[in-house]
Each structure stands twice: as C-alpha cells, then as structure tokens.
C-alpha cells in the first residue's frame, strides 16, 4: 500500500486507477448505450445541435427485440455455446493428461516435446486455416459444428497443455510419491491427488479455452456458411453489416449479449482462476 500523505494516495493510486477503469470500461459503456439508443439518435449527424453520443433520454428495447426476433441470434448463441463447451472439454482432457505426462513422466525428449507443442500454438490461424479447410472438405464436415469443435483444439490443446504443465510442476512431487507409498498406483495418485490439487489450474485453463473458442473468428468465418450454423462473432458481423450499412443498434446489442456468458464464467470462477494464475499450492 502507498504510505504517506493523503494526496500521494490520490495521485499514485486512485487517479491512475480511475483512468485505467475508464479506459477499460468505456467500450462496454459504449456497447450498452448504443444498443438502447433509438435509430434517430444513432444516425444523427455530429454537427446537429442536439448531438450527444454519450447519453440518451429515450432508451429503447427495439434493437434487442430486432436481434432476438428478426435474426438468428438465439441459434448463434446456442451454436457458440455448444461449440465452445465441446472444444473446451476435448482440449482440457487432452491438455491435462499431456501436461501431466510432460511435467511428471521423465521420458526422453519430454522437454523438447513440450517446447514443440508450444510452438504449434504460435502458428497463426490465418495460415493454418488453409490446410484445415482442405481437411474439413475431405471429411465433409463443412458447415457443421464439428468443423469447429475439431479444429479449435489445434490451438486450445497446446495452450491447455502448456498451462497445465506449469501448474503440475508447481504441485510438490512429494505429494505423489507419498500417495504411491500409501498404496496408490501412478494412475490413482494422479486421479486422487494430483488432479484434485490442480483444480484451480484446470479451471483457469478451461476458462481461457472457453473464452478463446467463444471469441474465435477466422475458422468460424471460413468453415461455416449457412446463417443458422454461425457463431455469435461471425453471425453478428456478417448478418448485421450488409454491404456498407452498419446496423449499429442490433450489432452492439449482439456484442453485449454475446459477451455476457463469458463475463459470467469469469466472475463465477474468479477466485480459483486467480489462484490458478498465481500458481500457489499451499500444503
């Protein structure tokens, strides 16, 4: 904490903090205000007398109603949830086991294999989608949720593996050794001791994976084409921007509603998630 005179606290803590919060929260505010402003205010030229982009006296639910009733937003939401949950589940299972193996089983090349896995995470999706598109076509998965559920793990598994590797390394190996002396097989020691201890790490890997797949854009744009199959990020941008016409109200309403599940996931697990990032296992 900052010591000394009161003004120091203000100058070095409260004011920077307020600026930081303003910077972070302004986009959300903008989303909220835009999604409830009537079109008449939204498209008013900037030099008109009553131009005021930061506030409205005539809030309306029209944009939200339009989004939910006139577009396929509800099915996009459902698609996104299903795809994100399924790909997160697959990636977590693979990532936890791979992370455990790489950090705990001292097999030859474990270190370089770990680095290799991380490098695959660095291959940009904008390159990877070309060969993947070919594979999706060959297996006739195009325009189905499986196109994404099976491709998202290409970047989620390396990510989860890497995160879990670090976390498993922080779990004292004596815990496992003790379990094995106590009569557990290696498998049981992992299942009953190491994984329960690593739950905060698994949760943070899960939340990250969920967020990454929820927000993913490139693969979703390339592999899905029919409107009813789309995910929220692609659906909102492709169906609410027609030509060069931006339907700002519904667009922002879609962005807002689309970010709520992620926000809920974060706030729900925030304690575990912070513990997972700081990586503390207290015995």
Partner 1 sequence: MGQVVLKGINKFYDSVHAVKDVNLQIRDKEFVVFVGPSGCGKTTTLRMIAGLEAISSGDISIDGNVINELAPMDRDIAMVFQNYALYPHMSVYDNMAFGLKMRKFEKLEIGQRVRDAADILGIGDLLKRKPRQLSGGQRQRVALGRAIVRHPRVFLFDEPLSNLDAKLRVQMRVELKKLHLRLGTTAIYVTHDQVEAMTLGDRVVVMKDGLVQQVGEPLELYNQPANKFVAGFIGSPAMNFAAVTVTEANGSLIVENPGLRLKLPDETAQRLRGHIGNEVTLGVRPEDLSVAGTADLDHPCFDAVIEVVEQLGSEILLDMKVGEDVMVASVEPTVRVKVRDKLRVAIRPSRLHLFDAKTEAAI
List the one residue out of 259, 114, 275 whose CA is nearest residue 203.
275
> Most distant CA pair in the chain: distance in Å?
80
**CB proximity list for 142: less than 8 A, separation 6 or greater:** 136, 223, 224, 225
Exposure string over 89-98, b if 16+ CB within 10 A, otherwise e: ebbbebbbeb
Cβ proximity to partner 1, 182 vs 228, nearer residue? 182
Closest contact distance (angstroms) between CB of 188 and partner 1 is 7
* CA distances in angstroms from 281 to 73, 163, 184, listed in the order given: 42, 15, 21
Closest contact distance (angstroms) between CB of 180 and partner 1 is 5
Cβ proximity to partner 1, 171 vs 236, nearer residue? 171
- Binding pattern for the stretch 194-233 against partner 1, x by CB under 8 A and - elsewhere: --xx-x----------------------------------
Cβ proximity to partner 1, 84 vs 194, nearer residue? 194
Q: Total binding residues for partner 1 by CB under 8 A?
A: 21
Cβ proximity to partner 1, 102 vs 197, nearer residue? 197
Q: Residues 170 to 189: which contact partner 1 by CB under 8 A?
A: 172, 174-175, 177-185, 188
**CB proximity list for 144: less than 8 A, separation 6 or greater:** 229
Residue 283 binds to partner 1 (criterion: CB under 8 A): yes
The secondary structure of the chain in percent helix, strand, coil, rounded to multiples of 5, reads 75, 0, 25
Q: Residues 30 to 59: which contact partner 1 by CB under 8 A?
A: none
Cα separation, 173 vs 105, in Å, equals: 11
* CA distances in angstroms from 109 to 97, 115, 168, 197, 232, listed in the order given: 17, 10, 18, 26, 41
Residue 3 binds to partner 1 (criterion: CB under 8 A): no
Q: Residues 124 to 143: which contact partner 1 by CB under 8 A?
A: none
Cβ proximity to partner 1, 9 vs 180, nearer residue? 180
Tokens 């692609």 correspond to 234
Closest contact distance (angstroms) between CB of 271 and partner 1 is 15
Cβ proximity to partner 1, 93 vs 191, nearer residue? 191
Cβ proximity to partner 1, 111 vs 172, nearer residue? 172
Is 163 within 8 Å of 205 (Cβ atoms)?
A: yes
Closest contact distance (angstroms) between CB of 177 and partner 1 is 5
Closest contact distance (angstroms) between CB of 273 and partner 1 is 17
Q: Which residues bind partner 1 (CB under 8 A)?
A: 172, 174-175, 177-185, 188, 192-193, 196-197, 199, 281-283
């Amino acid at each position: 904490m900052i010591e000394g005179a009161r003004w120091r606290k203000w100058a070095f803590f409260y004011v920077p903090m307020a600026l930081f919060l303003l910077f972070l929260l302004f986009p959300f505010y903008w989303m909220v205000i835009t999604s409830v402003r009537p079109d008449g205010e939204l498209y008013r030229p900037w030099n008109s007398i009553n131009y005021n982009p930061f506030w409205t006296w005539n809030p309306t639910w029209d944009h939200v109603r339009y989004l939910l009733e006139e577009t396929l937003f509800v099915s996009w939401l459902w698609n996104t949830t299903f795809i994100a949950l399924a790909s997160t589940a697959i990636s977590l299972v693979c990532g936890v086991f791979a992370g455990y193996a790489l950090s705990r089983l001292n097999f030859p090349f474990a270190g370089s294999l770990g680095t290799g896995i991380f490098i695959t995470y660095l291959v940009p999706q904008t390159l990877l989608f070309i060969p993947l598109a070919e594979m999706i076509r060959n297996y006739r998965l195009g325009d189905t949720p499986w196109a994404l559920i099976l491709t998202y793990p290409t970047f989620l598994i390396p990510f989860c593996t890497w995160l879990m590797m670090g976390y498993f390394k922080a779990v004292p190996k004596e815990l496992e050794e003790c379990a094995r002396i106590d009569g557990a097989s290696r498998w049981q020691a992992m299942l009953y001791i190491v994984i329960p201890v690593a739950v905060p790490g698994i949760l943070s890997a899960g939340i990250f994976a969920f967020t990454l797949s929820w927000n993913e854009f490139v693969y979703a744009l390339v592999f899905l084409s029919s409107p009813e199959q789309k995910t929220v990020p692609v659906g909102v941008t492709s169906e609410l921007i027609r030509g060069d016409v931006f339907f700002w109200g519904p667009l922002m309403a879609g962005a807002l509603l689309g970010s709520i599940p992620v926000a809920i996931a974060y706030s729900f697990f925030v304690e575990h998630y912070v513990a997972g990032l700081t990586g503390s296992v207290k015995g």
